[in-house]
A and B are shown apart, each in its own frame.
Chain A
């Protein structure tokens, strides 16, 4: 019953080698004239459903939680995920990631190479960069590649990096005033997607993407090395440092999770078993290191995996709602805020939510109303 879908990847490989890389090269060497193409941008609709519909990433800005997701929704909570407010945002595009460098300055990225900036802890946002154009097809008729950004990380308030599909890599040196396409800083001739970027304590940056691709930077983003000896050839959707120097955890399709203690030189598979001791088959999407050292990774089908030992072993929970989860944030009191298909949800330390306590319950019978 396998229906291999490799046509997409292989055809893109052809495109990239045939000359699309040339198209990327054009703007690559230029510092972008930062006249943001934002005329056709419509501000996000302020909606009571904003915190209950697709959210993809969650971050902390001081004591505040900030989450981003579909339709330009940026929501923040000042009570550890109990109540959410929607911040006005200048776009209705899907936002994929958010990063705060301090309690005030944060950046959110998304489709159309959109980069938004907030300097007030997530309450208001402005467009810094946007590139909705898709690359024109080359002579062969292939192409039309979009440029969604998938992750963002700031070294400090001035220097930051944004990574995206088809090998897109952007860098700023002025807090996002100008962004430069530095895709050729990374050796990725086939233009594989970059899916996630993380900092590894005292060691450097680690970047993962599709088809098992991995990249590392020992100088926190200035120079990059493409790893050739990868433990797995499926896509990586997430990566996290574990809080220990040199230790990296990466995960992706079908419950695959690997751990390296030597900054990616060698890898060891982390065994994830479902509560009834079956092998975890769900895709793992996002996750991160909590302030208290816990590692929390989530996936499709309501999967929440939590490690208390820096990623050596995980306890797997499958939520009864089976909702697709995108990311999670571990709170100081041990509980977790999950984000995903149905927005932000408070959960206990295992990832379970009290019945009726959140939005993440199955549809309630409407009979009582009548």
Chain B
């Protein structure tokens, strides 16, 4: 740590500054290349990347994906009438036209489309002559009161109330199963993959806007995986606008900080180049921008700016003893490249710990962020000083800086009071209280998503309002845990299998948090009753295999697979809170233990709740592992740099306090530990350590020069305090814009990172000197 004070120029410095033009050309060429690559980056939301593919639940789910067919991949469109009810000519006509419009949307599984107007929605009735039945909509049009009365009767007989027809008769659902790929209308032999973004846009355009605008008495509510993904993609695109806002605010802050347009612009340009490189590299490595990794450019930009500011700041100081921009830049580089690289590498290594989590999006986020900070080493620690050696800093700015260093500064003077022997103990006590409070309150943090509906989106988003509408008006839950019952072929309908499934259904139905359970057994019992003239006394499984086979043949698609070797059991839950999920999966596992035989295996899990349960398990398992690793890495980096355990403690304790308090903040705001917030821990610690490193390395320098602690700290603040505070605000601004994202988890990440960046800065300024008072021995450090 003493090398960068020697006047002899290190090798790196000589290589860079003796070949400035060549370096610039290389940078320009690379920027053009990566710039081109960056324009090719596309938003993607791959479902598989968001789930822990290695978790046994997910392995089971993927193994049986084809067996469950389209189960679940459908959208539901509720067509509601505000005034009056569905028994009106106006409503039925509109519904028919919407139905027809939906029918022709690309990707719709037309044969299985269900609505009041499709012939597969039927009523049945038992008569002396057997079954009587027909399509619910038996008339081509509903013009008269008699027609509408017949419709009412048919609906009552159809058993669709609560399913296709709202409990209050003010809306009905069009159930639209989707095909993942469908034949190209122009060329039937070619298969087109369903584009969720495009499909969602068509829904908005051709269904929602079209019919709501035409008739204000009609409102359209759409839910389903495809719609949710479409909304997420929209959200990603909107986030790009925030980048502009972050850019602008940062520029203004830079101007205020440097009072120099030239250096502000250069810093900004270098940071944007870092972003371009990062995006270009992402594309080159074959990644797209998903809702998580889209946040990396913000971080890269902010980190780039913060390191750039250190360079500019150092240059302004070095101007004092330098004749020209070239020498100043060179000296600034020399004084900063080691702490800069240490800080950036520790950021990068912190992000690499994200690879420990078995969820692809988090891994890719880790890779993207590591690549990003790697890029900053080149763009802001190398390119920026080179550029600045040509451009130089405005004279006014240099003069101002000189004044500030020579003149006493009130703010830094009072802050340096934190190192005062009387103040330091108070700070330490406060910190201990902070730890105690944070640990106590942070215990309330829950694993997983806590909000109802689609947790990816905001509670007041269009999608969640629609979801809420459908849950309120229909007997349905949007949280489904699917248990896959696997048997040898042709055994799914065996009495033994069905009986075991029936037991599972009832055991689950009696569990707190479970609303109901549905499977082919539920259907079979109803069909057997129907085959026995509708007598309630026959609502039981038959030991007659022929009866069971007949019964399940009437079950809807997806209730069992083609070879009758798999039957999903759908368990509807109250919510997807971690408690509910754990209780449900534990109950199923216990049941499986008891009921699994040679032939019948009960496997977890599919359905959104199954996926979330698996994700929660992985996250809970990874949380501590990741936290320990990221701290271990950061501690190691500091240890290597400063070769002192006392130094490490001074830097790490404020960081740990931030982590603990961030946890409490999560508990307070009701943000769970989930895919989105887990990386925040690594990002917050990895980046947060920078402040400590910069402050401590300066402090150490002054202590070695023999200054007493408070004075050394004051000098530190005078030289680097401004840069550190500026860094804190820049980083906070970069992430604070996410708080306004339409995507809920981005907003959560924004809140937490903003808090962590600001508090880390505060912690470094306030607690570090107090700890130094107790931990450091200035007399022994003097050389």
- To the question of whether A and B form a pair in one complex, the answer is yes
Within 8 A of B (CB), among A356-370: 362-363, 365-367, 370
Q: Does B31 have its Cβ within 8 Å of any Cβ on chain A?
A: no
How far is B128's CA from A232's CA once the two chains are assembled, in angstroms?
A: 9
How far is B510's CA from A298's CA once the two chains are assembled, in angstroms?
A: 28
Name which residue of chain B comes closest to A327, CB basis: B536
Nearest CB on B from A154, distance (A): 19
Complex contacts, A253 vs chain B, CB 8 Å:
126-128, 533
Beta-carbon contacts of B53-64 to A below 8 Å, as 1s and 0s? 000000000000
Complex contacts, A301 vs chain B, CB 8 Å:
156
Contacts A362-B167, A363-B167, A365-B472; is A148 near B540 (CB within 8 Å)? yes
Nearest CB on B from A138, distance (A): 14
Complex contacts, A341 vs chain B, CB 8 Å:
536
B540 to A134, Cβ gap below 8 A?
no
Complex contacts, B394 vs chain A, CB 8 Å:
none
Of B192-200, B201-209, B304-312, B543-551, which stretch is located at the interface?
A: B543-551
Complex contacts, A370 vs chain B, CB 8 Å:
452
How far is B259's CA from A277's CA once the two chains are assembled, in angstroms?
A: 90
B471 to A366, Cβ gap below 8 A?
yes
Within 8 A of B (CB), among A60-109: 70-71, 92-94, 96
Nearest CB on A from B457, distance (A): 15
Q: Does B539 have its Cβ within 8 Å of any Cβ on chain A?
A: yes
Contacts A5-B131, A322-B156; is A70 near B126 (CB within 8 Å)? no
B531 to A8, Cβ gap below 8 A?
yes
Q: Does B506 have its Cβ within 8 Å of any Cβ on chain A?
A: yes
A3 to B130, Cβ gap below 8 A?
yes
Complex contacts, A1 vs chain B, CB 8 Å:
132-134
Tell me how many residues of A have a C-beta within 8 Å of chain B. 54
Complex contacts, B134 vs chain A, CB 8 Å:
1
Q: Does A54 have its Cβ within 8 Å of any Cβ on chain B?
A: yes
Name which residue of chain B comes closest to A322, CB basis: B156
User: Quick one: which of A42, A54, A145, A146 contacts B539, CB cutoff 8 A?
Assistant: A54
Nearest CB on B from A333, distance (A): 27
Of A178-186, A218-226, A233-241, which stretch is located at the interface?
A: A233-241
Contacts A3-B132, A148-B537; is A134 near B543 (CB within 8 Å)? yes
Nearest CB on B from A221, distance (A): 21
Within 8 A of B (CB), among A6-33: 6, 8
Nearest CB on B from A323, distance (A): 11
Complex contacts, A54 vs chain B, CB 8 Å:
536, 539
User: Quick one: which of B162, B509, B543 contacts A146, CB cutoff 8 A?
Assistant: B543
Complex contacts, A232 vs chain B, CB 8 Å:
128
How far is B167's CA from A363's CA once the two chains are assembled, in angstroms?
A: 8
Complex contacts, A42 vs chain B, CB 8 Å:
503
A6 to B535, Cβ gap below 8 A?
no
Q: Does B507 have its Cβ within 8 Å of any Cβ on chain A?
A: yes
Q: Does A45 have its Cβ within 8 Å of any Cβ on chain B?
A: yes
Complex contacts, B546 vs chain A, CB 8 Å:
144
A93 to B535, Cβ gap below 8 A?
no
B471 to A6, Cβ gap below 8 A?
no
User: Quick one: which of B127, B161, B472 contacts A366, CB cutoff 8 A?
Assistant: B472
Complex contacts, A134 vs chain B, CB 8 Å:
543-544
How far is B504's CA from A92's CA once the two chains are assembled, in angstroms?
A: 12
Nearest CB on B from A265, distance (A): 23
Q: Does B534 have its Cβ within 8 Å of any Cβ on chain A?
A: yes
Nearest CB on A from B293, distance (A): 32
Name which residue of chain A comes closest to B452, CB basis: A370
Within 8 A of A (CB), among B447-505: 452, 468, 471-473, 475, 503
Nearest CB on B from A236, distance (A): 10
Contacts A49-B510, A253-B533; is A2 near B132 (CB within 8 Å)? yes
How far is B130's CA from A366's CA once the two chains are assembled, in angstroms?
A: 39
Q: Does A315 have its Cβ within 8 Å of any Cβ on chain B?
A: no
Q: Which of B133, B156, B543 has the most CB of A within 10 A?
A: B543
Complex contacts, A285 vs chain B, CB 8 Å:
535-536
Nearest CB on B from A49, distance (A): 6
Contacts A145-B544, A367-B472; is A326 near B132 (CB within 8 Å)? no
Name which residue of chain A comes closest to B153, CB basis: A281
Name which residue of chain B comes closest to A44, CB basis: B506
Complex contacts, A111 vs chain B, CB 8 Å:
540
Q: Which of B509, B531, B539 has the most CB of A within 10 A?
A: B539
Q: Does A56 have its Cβ within 8 Å of any Cβ on chain B?
A: yes
Q: Does A355 have its Cβ within 8 Å of any Cβ on chain B?
A: no
User: Quick one: which of A148, A150, A322, A363 contacts B475, CB cutoff 8 A?
Assistant: A363
Nearest CB on B from A280, distance (A): 13
Nearest CB on B from A368, distance (A): 10
Contacts A2-B130, A367-B472; is A324 near B536 (CB within 8 Å)? yes
Nearest CB on B from A140, distance (A): 13
Complex contacts, A94 vs chain B, CB 8 Å:
537, 539-540
User: Quick one: which of B127, B475, B510, B543 contacts A48, CB cutoff 8 A?
Assistant: B510
Complex contacts, B70 vs chain A, CB 8 Å:
none
Contacts A2-B132, A6-B130; is A326 near B536 (CB within 8 Å)? yes
Name which residue of chain B comes closest to A233, CB basis: B128
How far is B528's CA from A94's CA once the two chains are assembled, in angstroms?
A: 13
Q: Does B104 have its Cβ within 8 Å of any Cβ on chain A?
A: no
A283 to B475, Cβ gap below 8 A?
no
A70 to B540, Cβ gap below 8 A?
yes
Name which residue of chain A comes closest to B476, CB basis: A363
A150 to B129, Cβ gap below 8 A?
no
Beta-carbon contacts of A234-270 to B below 8 Å, as 1s and 0s? 1101000000000000000110000000000000000
How far is B125's CA from A134's CA once the two chains are assembled, in angstroms?
A: 29
Nearest CB on A from B294, distance (A): 30
B129 to A6, Cβ gap below 8 A?
yes
How far is B452's CA from A185's CA once the two chains are assembled, in angstroms?
A: 62
B468 to A235, Cβ gap below 8 A?
no
Complex contacts, B162 vs chain A, CB 8 Å:
362-363
Complex contacts, B542 vs chain A, CB 8 Å:
146
Complex contacts, A160 vs chain B, CB 8 Å:
none
Q: Does A300 have its Cβ within 8 Å of any Cβ on chain B?
A: yes
B468 to A45, Cβ gap below 8 A?
no
B510 to A2, Cβ gap below 8 A?
no
Complex contacts, A362 vs chain B, CB 8 Å:
162, 167
Q: Does B257 have its Cβ within 8 Å of any Cβ on chain A?
A: no
Complex contacts, B103 vs chain A, CB 8 Å:
none
How far is B510's CA from A252's CA once the two chains are assembled, in angstroms?
A: 34
Complex contacts, B471 vs chain A, CB 8 Å:
366-367
Complex contacts, A5 vs chain B, CB 8 Å:
129-131, 531
Sample (10) of A-B pairs whose CB atoms are under 8 Å apart: A2-B130, A3-B130, A49-B510, A71-B506, A132-B543, A195-B537, A210-B533, A283-B126, A340-B536, A366-B574
Residues of A participating in the B interface, judged by any CB pair closer than 8 Å: 1-6, 8, 42, 45, 47-49, 54, 56, 70-71, 92-94, 96, 111-112, 132, 134, 144-146, 148, 150, 195, 210, 232-235, 237, 253-254, 281, 283, 285, 300-301, 322, 324, 326, 340-341, 362-363, 365-367, 370
Q: A47-B506, A300-B534 are in contact. List 16 more A-B contacts (CB 8 A).
A: A1-B132, A4-B130, A45-B507, A45-B510, A47-B510, A49-B509, A94-B537, A96-B537, A146-B543, A195-B537, A253-B128, A253-B533, A281-B125, A324-B536, A367-B468, A367-B471
Cβ-closest 3 pairs across A and B: A5-B130, A234-B128, A94-B540
